[in-house]
Amino acid sequence: MISNKIALEEHFAIEPTLGDSRQFMPAGFWEELRSRLLDILEQRLRRMDEAGIEFSILSLNAPAIQALRDPHQAIDVAARANEALAEQVTRRPDRFAGFAALPMQDPEAAAGELRRCVEAFGFKGALVNGFSDTPDGLGCLYYDQPQYAGFWTEAAALGVPFYLHPREPLESQRMIYEGHPWLMGPVWAFGQETAVHALRLMTSGLFDRHPDLTIILGHLGEGLPFSLWRAEHRLRKFSRGCPAAKPLGEYFRNNFYITTSGNCRTQALLATMLEVGADRILFSTDYPFEEMQEAADWIETASISETDRLKIARTNAARLFGLG
């Protein structure tokens, strides 16, 4: 057993964001989920010990900040969430670190909050729950858009990863799921939405401007490892003006890390390893929406080499985040 695993898609909530998670669990499980989201230092630590997880990087639940239409409110709640997390981390810095929640509705404020969290709190980067709402609630702010140029310059200068986490598509964009609510959330809509957002970043030229920028995707890459060759192949034949200077696979292998959060499937892991290499994959559990023990048992028994198992469970994350 690898008893010192590192996990980095591990969620918490504060009271103003707590209700956002209720939709993702059956009604009978809500009180348990609520307890898990609000707790950091008690039952979470016990479960980490049982699963052999030595260290967790914590992040705010979804969609939280990204679903706030008022930029001023987003700035305020993000700051409160980050300060609450920082206070908890200072109690057990041997077991926890943080990812910043960011008010991406205001790119300049988001850049400033990221710098504050990295420099003042020692956070290891940011986790952002997909696109952000516009003030009227009818549009989406995706981060390849021109107004985010300064934000990405700041993120690249800080040298910390940006975890692009899923959220539901807006109601106005859910026609494909109409009459099929069971396909929403982590069943399918989460991955589809996030994969498109990641492709937008890859094809926008962002990584040509910032070749050292690092993006993290969860859930074994939101389906992209399986689909990347076809997307790259068709763009090579007919680019339709795509501004990216390199093939998609180059960005995916050089600018992205992939976590195992919420996807305990060895076949999918092997496909991802073949696409990006074992050095770019990181263990995570997606707690409390998934069980730490299930994820830990799976990575311990997956049909991979012991060298790759240790890389994925610990050493890749230790290197990426500068952990001892």
Residues with catalytic roles: 286
In the three-class reduction of DSSP (H, G, I as helix; E, B as strand; rest coil), residue 185 is classed as helix
Pairing of strands 140-141, 132-133: antiparallel
Helix, strand, coil percentages for the chain (3-state, nearest 5): 55, 15, 30
Task: Specify the DSSP class assigned to residue 26.
Answer: -
User: Which positions ≥6 away from 144 have C-beta within 8 Å?
Assistant: 200, 201, 203, 204, 206
Query: Rounded to whole angstroms, how far apart are CA atoms 107 and 204?
Result: 17
Query: Rounded to whole angstroms, how far apart are CA atoms 96 and 258?
Result: 20
Calculate the alpha carbon distances from 29 to 25, 143, 291 in Å.
6, 34, 13
Query: Rounded to whole angstroms, how far apart are CA atoms 273 and 198?
Result: 19
* Token couple for 213: 């920028």
Residue type, 188: W
- Written in H, E and C, the secondary structure of 111-155 is HHHHHHHHHHHCCCCEEEECCEECCCCCCEECCCCHHHHHHHHHH
In contact, 51 and 10? CB cutoff 8 Å: no
Query: Rounded to whole angstroms, how far apart are CA atoms 125 and 114?
Result: 7
